[in-house]
A = this chain, B = another copy of it.
Amino acid sequence: MERMDLQELRELVEFLKENGIAEFELEREDQHVKLKFESAFPAAIAAAPVLHAHAMTAPVSAAAVPAAAAAASPDAPAEEALHQVKSPIVGTYYESSAPGSPAFIKVGDTVEVGQTVCIVEAMKLMNEIESDVAGEVVRIIAKSGQPVEYGQPLFAVRAK
């Protein structure tokens, strides 16, 4: 177990479980790993909430990022390398400081740590949300005017 010691395996399994993966197989010239979870995992009762309608767009949760991505393509590491700027509070997301004003950021912009990237309104207060990463804005996930919950991803940023 030099290549993949238990610690590494542990992280892999943790990752697979978080992402609701039932079976996993990885084959490389020097290594082949195959894994199959018990049918019941992730616990069916726990996993089910995503099935019914929620006010929120489901935050990128376990189930949403297909593990396939990770497993299938070591040559398409796109998604993993991206940093998500998440909402630190519950409220309503706005892309600009006022209706009609330009958005704080758009795809392709470079953001710095601490730069205001959007507004989340909570209890009538306009809270400026700052980026916790420096890099290039790759995707804007939330839509202006949309309610967001704690931890909900707002932007995807390719960190520098």
Contact = CB atoms under 8 A, between A and B. Distances in A.
Nearest to A28: B31
B13 A21 contact: yes
Given A1-B3, A23-B35, A25-B32, 17 more contacts: A2-B3, A3-B28, A6-B12, A9-B15, A17-B19, A19-B37, A20-B38, A20-B40, A22-B38, A23-B36, A25-B35, A26-B31, A26-B32, A26-B33, A27-B31, A28-B30, A28-B31
A31 to B, nearest CB: 5
Interface residues of A, number: 36
A14 to B, nearest CB: 8
Interface string A73-103: 0000000000000000000000000000000
